[in-house]
A and B are shown apart, each in its own frame.
Chain A
Amino acid sequence: MSQFQLQFDPRSYRRTIAGKDVIIHCHHYNARVQRTLESAVAVDGRAIIRGAAETVFAEQIAQALRDADDSEPKLGVAEQLYAQLGYGRLVLTPTPQGRVHATSSHYVEGWLAGFGARDEGVCTFTEGYIQAAIWAATGELVHARERECMARGDAQCVFEIDGGRTQAIAANTKQPVAFEPRTTGEYLRSQHVDEPAIIQALVDMPIHGNAEGLIPAFSVYLANTPADYYNLICIRFVEQMSAHGRDKAAKRMLIADGETCAMNTFRGIMNSVEWEGLVAPMIHEPRDNIFALVAISNGLGWGNWHITAHPSAETIEFESLNGYEALGYREYRGRASDPTCFMLTGVAAGLLELVYGVGTIADRLGTCGTRETACISRGDATCGFAVERSQ
Chain B
Amino acid sequence: MTVKYQEKPLKIVGTRPLRPDGVDKVTGRARYAADYNLPGQLIGKVLRSPHAHARIKSIDTSKAAALPGVKALVTRDDFADMPVEYAASGELTINFRDVTRNMMAREKVFYDGHPVAAVAATSASIAREALKLIKVEYEVLPHVIDVLEAMKPDAPLLHEHQFTDGVTPKPDKPSNVAKRMVFALGSLEEGFKQADLVIEREFNTKPVHQGYIEPQACVASYTEDGQVELWTGTQGHFVFRAQLAKVLQMDVSKIRVTATELGGGFGGKNNIYNEPLAIALSRKSHRPVKMVMTREEVFRATGPTSGANVKIKMGCTRDGRITAADAELNFQAGAFAGSSVGMASMCTFTRYDLDNVRVVGNDVTVNRPKVAAYRAPGAPIAVFGVESVIDEMARKLGIDPIDFRLKNAAKEGTQTYYGPTLGPIGFVETLNRAKAHPNYRLPLGPDQGRGIATGFWFNIGKETSSTVHVNEDGTVTLIIGIVDVAGGTRATMAMMVAEEFGIDYDKVRPVVGDTSALGFNFITAGSRGTFAGGMAAVLAARDAMEKLCRRVARIRDVPPEAVAWKDGRAQPAEGSGTQFKPMSLEEIAREAGRTGGTISGHSEINAEGAGPGFGTHIADVEVDRETGSIKILRYTIVQDVGKAIHPAYVEGQFEGGAVQGIGWALNEEYVYGADGVLQNPGFLDYRVPVASDVPFIDSVIVEVPNPNHPYGVRGCGEVPIIAPMAAISNAVENAIGVRLREQPMSPPRVLKAIEAAALATTQD
Check if A and B associate.
no
